[in-house]
Amino acid sequence: MTKTVLFYDNVNFNRRSAATTLAVADCRTLIPKNEKEFMDILKLSKFDLLVYPIEYHEVVLRMSKQNLHAATILLSQSKIKELHRYFSKEHSTNILAKGKDGQLNPRELVTTVRKIFNQDIFGVKHYVNYGTESEVYHIRDSDQRSEYIDTVREFCNRFHLRTSTIQSVELFCEELLMNAIYDAPRDSDGNELYGRISRKDRVILKPRDAARMEFACDGEKLVVSVSDPFGGITWEVVQRYLARCFSGNRKIANLSDGGGAGLGLYFCFTAANSFIINVHPDKRSEFIGIFDLTSSPRDRNRLYSSLHFFSTEQGSEKALAKELITAS
């Protein structure tokens, strides 16, 4: 069944391109021409997805009496430090940043919409060009962690990536492999297995508990994925820790509950240009980093960074999706 999307933005280019972009995702799109028309449609129509500027969010919540049933993408040009307050807002499921010129990235929008509606959320395939091959490894032994990071480094060197990019990739992989081996594993009752032991102690996971690492490069971006078979991370945990980090209270975030969250989430977010979290509760958690290869290191640090959270949890007919894209 075709989904209905209500899209409004005050940038003419974004309104024009949204019709084509969302048609690619097989969506019926309602695109108001002005604020009044947007508010009128909001009152009278039903839709599966809302896309609108973040400054309208509180108004929309009041109009709906905080009873929004549709997924929501909020459009923003706010800095990180200005966005942490939105983490605690009811139903702020997606925050999608515009570029410096106020324009949205059409591919990023259509990928997000497809993942919301289709529930096909896992894998690097969503973020690389069609036909790009990936490499996959399974990690059980904590003492072999550095060997797998060396493998990623060698992969990066084959594509002649900059040293600064490789260093960011190494940091990203180190944090997430530590999480997958020490923090994520749980017993059948949900109790952590290795979260309290020293990271210098060796851990050998059972084959069914092994971490999975996947990476690919299409010449424009490098995409790295690390996943575990436990699915313990939640949006509430991500929300709580990143809100603290963004507000400057980073010491409080140096914890490891909720499937290995904590300051490591912040490090991963700042290391990559985009940070995606995919979850099938109690079954699988996947953390993906996208590293832009088309800009200089100086320009790359000025680009907008993004955070996505997708879950297959069946609270409604759609997958939950939470996305934050902010300026670095």
pLDDT digits (tens, 9 = 90+) for 244-293: 776 665 454 433 444 344 678 888 888 888 889 999 999 999 999 999 89
Distance between first and last Cα of the chain: 38
- Domain layout of the chain by residue ranges: 3-118, 124-311
pTM of the model: 0.86
Q: Give 56 or 258, the one with higher predicted confidence.
A: 56
pLDDT over 70 (residue 299): no
Distance CA 74, CA 247 (A): 20
Confidence of residue 88 (pLDDT cuts 50, 70, 90): low
pLDDT band at 326 (very low <50, low <70, confident <90, very high): very low
Residues 6+ apart with CB under 8 A from 222: 156, 159, 161, 165, 169, 215, 216, 290, 291, 293
Q: What is the mean pLDDT of residues 189-217?
A: 95
Which residues have C-beta within 8 Å of that of residue 115, sequence separation ≥ 6? Answer: 121, 126, 310, 319, 321
Report percent pLDDT > 70 for the chain: 81
Highest mean pLDDT (candidates 192-201, 214-223, 249-258): 214-223
Cα separation, 273 vs 80, in Å, equals 13
Class at the top of the CATH hierarchy for domain 3-118: alpha beta
Does residue 325 carry a pLDDT above 70? no
Does pLDDT of 184 surpass 60? yes
Domain 124-311 belongs to what architecture? 2-Layer Sandwich (3.30)
